[in-house]
Amino acid sequence: MNIIYEDNHIIVVIKKADQPVMLDSSNDYDLLTEIKDYIKIKYNKPGNVYTGLVHRLDRPVGGVMVFAKTSKAASRLSNSIRNIEFDKKYYAVVKGIINPLEATIENWMCKDDQEKKSYICNEDTPNAKLAKLKYKVVKSVSDMSLLDIELFTGRHHQIRVQLSSAGYPIYGDMRYGDGPKGHIALFAYSLGFIHPVTQKPMVFECDPDYTIPPWPLFK
């Protein structure tokens, strides 16, 4: 586990691609349990260790995440997310040469719980939620483009669905694109928020694994 910051209230880590954030039907070792085990061993804590999950990343997606070490911190971070006070930025490699080079995409999205997929829908569709992101083209190579994405809302599979619907599926996304099979080229490289106790603005950043295709093309 790659820890990039820790204090008495929060712990910030880099989630590995393909690791579930929390326990799922696969029973694979999830990040939440890994953090609890780490805290339990490091601080010699008996019994069940509290670790607050305040936001998520899709299982195939790696990147920066913050977890709360106290219920007070968890409550305050959750409020910040509800008030859209988290700054979330992602890198995504998509198929196609994108024009315009910078734009904001807004859609209404619905989630199919049975299929575990989301899709673009009309505003008046039951349970429709507004989804908004902004992208900027960083670099284009061959028939692929690297996008710097700022996420304003946190809908289920939002970036994957919105980019695919715009005609720019993410490289490696088998669910909303056509692959190729392998790691999805979506990475949460920056996370900014106000510390739940000190009230200090904090920003944490990291790079994707440039050894995994197609990232080497954009290093």
- pLDDT one-digit tens code per residue, 154-182: 899 999 999 999 999 999 999 999 888 88
pLDDT tens profile 108-159: 999 999 999 999 999 999 999 999 999 999 999 989 999 999 999 989 999 9
In a domain, 46, yes or no: yes
In a domain, 87, yes or no: yes
Contacts 24+ apart (CB under 8 A), 135-142: 135/92, 135/98, 135/102, 135/103, 135/105, 135/163, 136/101, 136/102, 137/98, 137/101, 137/102, 138/91, 138/218, 139/218, 140/97, 140/98, 141/217, 141/218, 142/217
Domain with 69 in it: what CATH number? 3.30.2350.10
Q: Which amino acid is at 203?
A: V
Helices (H) and strands (E) in the chain, counts: 3, 11
In a domain, 30, yes or no: yes
Q: Using the predicted structure, report yes or no on whether residue 55 has a pLDDT greater than 90.
A: yes
Q: How many domains does the chain have?
A: 1
**Residues 6+ away with beta carbon under 8 Å from 39:** 11, 45, 49, 51, 69
In a domain, 60, yes or no: yes
Determine the structural domain holding residue 24 and report its residue range.
2-208
In a domain, 97, yes or no: yes
In a domain, 218, yes or no: no
In a domain, 214, yes or no: no
